[in-house]
Amino acid sequence: MPATLDELTHKVEQQLNVIYENIDLPMPITELSRLLIDEMNIPNNFVEPVPYTNHWSEKDMMLITYGDSIVEPEQKPLKTLESFMDTYLNDKINSVHILPFFPYSSDDGFSVIDYSSVNESLGDWQDIEDIAGKYKLMSDLVINHCSSRSAWFQNFIKGSGVGKDYFFTADPSDDLSQVVRPRTSPLLRETETAEGTKYVWCTFSHDQVDLDFRNPHVLLSFVSIIRQYLDSGVKVFRLDAVAFLWKIVGGPSINLPYTHEVIRLLRTLIEHTEPETVIITETNIPNTQNLTYFGNANEAHCIYNFSLPPLLVNSLITGDCTYLKRWLMSMPPAQNGTCYFNFIASHDGIGLRPAEGLLSDLELNTLVNTMQNFGGRVSWRTADTGEQKAYEINIALFDALKGTIGGEDKWGLERFICAHAIMFGLEGIPGIYIHSILGTPNDYEKLKNTHHNRSINRHRWDYKLLKEQLDSDYSSHSKVLTRMLALIDIRTKQPAFHPNATQYVLHLGLQLFGFWRQSLDRKQSIFCISNVSDEKVELRLNELNLIVTDDWVELISNKNIEDTATELELMPYQTVWLTNLKNE
């Protein structure tokens, strides 16, 4: 590992040689390497990162939210968000992912106009720094594309200034048939420029124009952006849509080796600047491809567990955990220095590509139809064959779990809590969407106003109304928050719930989904077992082989297990956490 600035420079040069091996650069690799290190402001006496170090523990719990998910008159939303977290979450949740808080033109923030500014309607950099001073802050690095209204793209149109050569173009006559995309809009955007008509590559929409990392100045610009975010207190970088970063005409243009090397390079630069900083890759792709973004513990520190939401929802609406269990058994344990980022709801929806090859077509169709019956919408993509396929289900998780394939029932709240109890117990860091912790249902009014399917799960709360709901003992929102925080409080005190603690899947039949966790020091064991059905189910404790000389307790109910050979009756959607070492 590099021990001096010269050795670090040499390592960066090697990585740059891989990225730009077939590209005629406007500068020597040695110069580019020095520029990158200077842009990151890496000091001569930098701290050498320790390989395979876990920058997380069982105490880590991430809230996922927009900067304006909660608003109050006469106050900037970032201040309102800070107030909400301080009042309701401060001693339970230690991290927050604020979705893009920059000026933008579309896609609720993911079409960035200016990476260096905070959206004035949300607040300013001081507001960001205030939150970062109290909570571990995750920020998006929207690295694949930017807004067509950005200064960079306007300079591309003019043919002069920074950005004039920042964008990837192709020709309509090129073979683009293999390109993998999550959208149905045309890939190329016809754009009139000072140099004539050009066709700009747009993976997502024509307002989101793709950047061209073959130009090293694009890389330099993003390293400068990273440096600014670090200075503002960002501790976790979410690399948005990074799988599409590198393009090659004539191929699928996803998950290319150059993309992986760019991530490795950014990690090298970041960890030699701020060793505790974490990189998370957002790659909404089939599971086997997603796993490659760990590299050899030298790419992403964390990857999103995108397969978890569709598989978990499928289990809870069918009462059968077969597919969920099969997937979990196939997941390799994350080696030290890496971990999974678990979530079951997000600002987007329930992605279906990560379930491909895991759920059958029949299961997928049943899942989609059930979600539509519960008020959900479906977003589509164009497959290689030209066929329209469901890409994601857009629905609030609270509504997604209000029934089964048989229809809505009385177990919605229990099913919803069960889903989170399962996620909280799994190997990895849990991320909880703000509208899940608040039990927010589908927002049909916002959907009607925006005509964007994803708006259904992007409600904006009035803080006064929200406080009234949360301060009431009778509202569903108060009940959800109370029970969620109770689970989180228990979870964050148990060493066996460390993101890298040992995990084994249990075989308890179709209706009981279970797994065993063991702390890194091997002192604490927790058996996490959930009834995923709408029927009572008997759990035979002797099947778990509990060590009879230990004193066992069920953490959620705080009840002692007097007889390890007895049976426990699990109510529909009840979860138990059985442990031999209770931590208060």
Task: Tell me which residue of 375, 532, 402, 432 sits closest to 93, measured CA to CA.
Answer: 432
**Is residue 145 a known part of a binding site?**
yes
Cβ–Cβ < 8 Å for 526, 555:
yes
Of the CA atoms within 13 Å of residue 299, those in its CB half-sphere come to 22
Q: Is 420 annotated as a binding residue?
A: no
- The per-residue b/e assignment along 420-433, b for 16 or more CB within 10 angstroms, e otherwise, is bbbbbbbbbbbbbb
- Is 238 annotated to bind ligand? yes
Q: Is 501:425 a contact under the CB 8 Å cutoff?
A: no
Residue whose pair of structure tokens reads 């956490």 in the numeric block: 577
Question: What's the CA gap between 341 and 400, in Å, rounded?
Answer: 21
477 is in an annotated binding site: no
Could you give the angle at which helices 29-40 and 5-19 cross, rounded to 10 degrees? 120
Long-range pairs of 541-548 with CB within 8 A, sequence gap ≥ 24: 541/565, 541/566, 541/567, 541/568, 541/578, 543/508, 544/506, 544/578, 546/578, 546/580, 547/580
The secondary element (H helix, E strand) that includes residue 584 is none
DSSP string computed for 402-424: SEETTEE-TTHHHHHHHHHHHHH
451 in helix, strand or coil?
coil
Residue 563 annotated as binding site: no
Alpha helices by DSSP H, listed for 498-576, are none
User: Would the annotation count 55 as a binding residue?
Assistant: no
C-alpha 575: how far from its chain's center?
A: 24
What does the DSSP assignment read for 141-197? EE-SEEETTSHHHHHHHHT-STTTT-B-EE-TTS--TT---S--S-SEEEEEETTEE
Distance from the Cα of residue 570 to its chain's centroid: 31
Q: Is 240 a catalytic residue?
A: yes
- Per DSSP bridges, beta strands 429-433 and 95-98 are unpaired
Q: Which three-class secondary structure state does DSSP give residue 535?
A: coil
Q: Which of 24, 53, 69 is nearest to 500 (CA)?
A: 53
Catalytic residue among 240, 320, 399, 534: 240
Distance (Å, whole) CA 220 – CA 32: 8
Q: Does 124 carry a binding-site annotation?
A: no
- Whether residue 454 is annotated as binding a ligand: the answer is yes
List active site positions.
240
Annotated binding site for substrate: 107, 145, 238-240, 347-348, 454
Annotated binding site: 107, 145, 238-240, 347-348, 454
